[in-house]
Chains A and B, each alone.
Chain A
C-alpha cells in the first residue's frame, strides 16, 4: 500500500527497520441493542522495531479501542475486522483465541490508564509478577523471585525484595504504574502499548514514568506505542506519530515533520489549539469549534468534515484516500496539504489558515492583528 512504500522511502535506507506490527483497515464495531457503534472505521498502523510511536486524538477517536482490538481485549459484542493484522510476520487473524492469548503479554504487552485500579487488590505485587513469569517464561520459585526483583529494580522501585510481599494499596499511583510496567517487562515483549499511562498521575510522576519508558526502549530495544492526548509529551519523546479522529487515522509521519508541517486540517487545528506558554498575548484559548461525530451509524465521509474549514461536498460524500508526501508523511484528505496552506507549530506570526489560531512565538502585537 502507498503507506508502506512511503515509510520505506522516508527511512531513506535500502533495508528499513523491520516492521513489527502491521495493521491495515482495522474496523471495530460494537453490537448493542440493535445499534451499531463503529468505534474504529478503517485504521492503518505500522510499528517498526524499536521505535517510539505515538497515537494522538481526542476522547472518542478510537485510539484505545483500536489497541484493545489488536490485543483481543474487547467484550463479546465487539466485532473486529481487518484487512491485515500481522505481528512479527505472523498473521494474527488466522490465529486461534488461545494463540492470540498466548501472545498477550509475551509478545505484546499493554498497560492502561488508571494504575489505582489495575492491580488485583487482594494479591501481593509479588504474586502479580510470579503469575506472569510462570505463564510466559515458565519460571517458578527462586528463579521467578529473582527475576521479579530484577524487574522491580529496572523500573526504579526501591527495596524490591521487601516490596514483593506488599499489597497494591500500599503503593502510590506512580509506583503502581511502575509495577505494571515491571509486569510488562517480565514478559520481555517486543511491543509495549501504553494507553495514556500518565493521565491519572501527577505531572512530576508523569515525567518519571515517561522517562522510564524511553529508557526501556533504549535498553531493551522494545517498541513502544504511546496513546496520548498530550502533544507536548509526544513531541519530546516519540519518533513517529499517528493522528486519529472519529475512528479513523488521518495523518501519520515523523514527529518533527507532522508537528512543523502538518498535512491534515485536523492536525493543524489540533496543534493550533495547544496553548503556547511563550506567547505574550492574552488571547483566548483556541479550540476547534464543534463536537466529535457520533459513532452510531456514521456516514461514509471524512469524519472531520463537519468541523473543517476547508470542507467541501466531496468531503461529505466520500471517505478520503491516503495521500503521500515527500517527507514520508501520509494524510487522509481530499485536498493536497500545500493547496490548503496548513500551518504547524513554530511557524510564528502567521495565523492558522483554518481556524485563525496563532501558533509559535509572537513577534510583536502589530503583526498579530493582521488576522
Chain B
C-alpha cells in the first residue's frame, strides 16, 4: 500500500509541474505583464524598460519560468494589475470565506446524497425512488445562478426575511448577522452540489443490488435490511468516500457563481473581476492553485481508497 501511494505521489509531482508550465505559457501569451502592475503613466519609457530588465523580462523564456516557479514556491504570487495589492495576501484573506461557504455546503449535500441515494436504490422503482430520481434529474438541469435569483427574489424581496448581499451588514459583524447572510448562499450551493452526487449514489446502490453476492446472501437467509446495511452500504460507500477527495479544488473555486451573485467576499468575485480586467497575475495564481488542488485531490482520493477498500490494501494496483 505504501508503495502504491508513493508511486502516485511521484506521478503527481510532474503533473503539477506540467500544469505550471501550461499556465506560464498562457501567461506569456498575454499582452500585459506583471510589470504593468507596478508602473504608472508618469514613468518614462527608459525607467519602464529598466524595470522590465531588472525583473528579468528579457531573459529567455525558460529562465523566466523557473524564476516564476521559484517565486510561487516562496510565497510571492505577484501583484494585481488593477489593485496593485499582493495576490497572495488577497487570496489568504478570501480563501477562508470561500471554505466557510463551500465546506459545510458540500458535506451537507454529500451526506444528503448518500442518504437519499441509498434509500432510492433500496426501494428501486417505488414512488419514493422515482421522486428522488426526478429531483436529481431536474436538479442537474437547473442553473445555480437562476436558483439563487429565485431565492433572492422570494426571501430577499418578497418576504424580506434575508439580506441579499455580502457576508455581513456594515457595522454589524455579529454571528447572527453573518448567519443571516449565510443562509441563501449555503442553500444555493447545497442545491448545486446535490444532484450529481445523488445520482451517483443511487446508481451505485442499484448496481450493487444486482450483484451476485446479494443473491447469495439472500439465499442464506439475509433479510432486506441485513443485505442493505451489512453489505450494500459498505460497497457503495467505499467509492463514494474516495470521491470526496476529488472535491478538494472546490474549496477554492467551487462557488464562483454563487459568490458573485451574492457578493460573498470569497475567491469567486475576486477571480471574475480579475478576468474581466485581464488581471493576469491574479488569474494565473488562481489557476495554478486550483489545478494543483485537483491533482492533490486525486491523490487524496487514491489514498482514501487504499485505506478504505480491502482489495487495495495488498500490493496496490489501480481500480
Contacts and interface: CB of A to CB of B under 8 A. Distances in A.
Contact present between A and B (CB < 8 A): yes
A180 to B, nearest CB: 7
B229 interface: no
Nearest to B125: A76
Nearest to A103: B221
Contacts of A123: 231, 234
A106 B235 CA distance: 26
A71 B235 CA distance: 25
Interface string B197-239: 0000000000000011101111111110000001100110010
Contacts of A180: 216
A102 B231 contact: no
Contacts of A112: 212, 215-216, 219
A85 interface: no
Interface stretch (A114-122, A205-213, A228-236): A114-122
A167 B311 contact: yes
Interface stretch (A43-51, A128-136, A264-272): A128-136
Given A73-B215, A121-B235, A131-B230, A167 B310 contact: yes
A105 B221 contact: yes
A137 B241 CA distance: 35
A169 interface: yes
A249 to B, nearest CB: 22
Interface string A222-262: 00000000000000000000000000000000000000000
Interface in A36-75: 71, 73
Contacts of B89: none
A135 B213 contact: no
A196 B314 CA distance: 32
Contacts, number: 68
A120 B235 contact: yes
A239 B222 CA distance: 32
A330 interface: no
Contacts of A121: 213, 235, 310-311
A187 interface: yes
Question: Which of B211, B216, B311 has the most chain A CB atoms inside 10 A of its CB?
Answer: B216
B221 A106 contact: yes
A324 B231 CA distance: 48
B219 A73 contact: yes
Given A112-B212, A117-B212, A119-B213, A104 B310 contact: no
B53 interface: no
A298 B235 CA distance: 40
Contact of B311 (A71, A169, A183): A169
Interface in B12-58: none
Interface in B273-292: none
Contact of B309 (A118, A122, A135): A122
A75 B15 CA distance: 48
Contacts of B211: 117
A110 interface: yes
A106 B221 CA distance: 8
Contacts of A105: 219-221
Contacts of A132: 220-221
A13 B14 CA distance: 82
B205 to A, nearest CB: 15
B216 A187 contact: no
Contacts of B218: 73, 104
Given A112-B212, A114-B212, A180-B216, A122 B310 contact: yes
Contact of A120 (B213, B219, B223): B213
B30 to A, nearest CB: 50
A124 to B, nearest CB: 8
A151 interface: no
A180 B213 CA distance: 11
A235 to B, nearest CB: 28
Contacts of A101: 221, 223
A131 B220 CA distance: 9
A218 to B, nearest CB: 24
A78 interface: no
Given A119-B213, A120-B231, A71 B219 contact: yes
A118 B221 contact: no
A122 B239 CA distance: 12
Given A114-B212, A131-B230, A120 B217 contact: yes
A169 B313 CA distance: 11
A187 B219 contact: no
Contact of B235 (A73, A109, A122, A169): A122
Nearest to A116: B212
Nearest to B233: A122
B305 to A, nearest CB: 12
A122 B231 CA distance: 8
Contact of A104 (B219, B230, B234, B314): B219
Given A136-B221, A187-B220, A118 B310 contact: no
Interface of A: 71, 73, 101-106, 109-112, 114, 117-124, 131-132, 135-136, 167, 169-170, 180, 183-184, 187
Given A121-B235, A132-B221, 17 more contacts: A101-B221, A105-B219, A105-B220, A106-B221, A111-B216, A112-B212, A112-B219, A117-B212, A119-B216, A120-B235, A121-B213, A122-B235, A122-B238, A122-B309, A131-B222, A167-B311, A183-B220
10 residue pairs, one from A and one from B, having the closest CB atoms: A105-B221, A105-B220, A117-B212, A104-B221, A110-B219, A118-B216, A120-B213, A167-B310, A118-B212, A120-B231
19 contacts: A71-B219, A73-B218, A73-B219, A104-B220, A104-B221, A105-B220, A110-B219, A117-B211, A118-B213, A118-B216, A119-B213, A120-B217, A122-B235, A131-B222, A132-B220, A135-B220, A167-B311, A170-B314, A183-B220
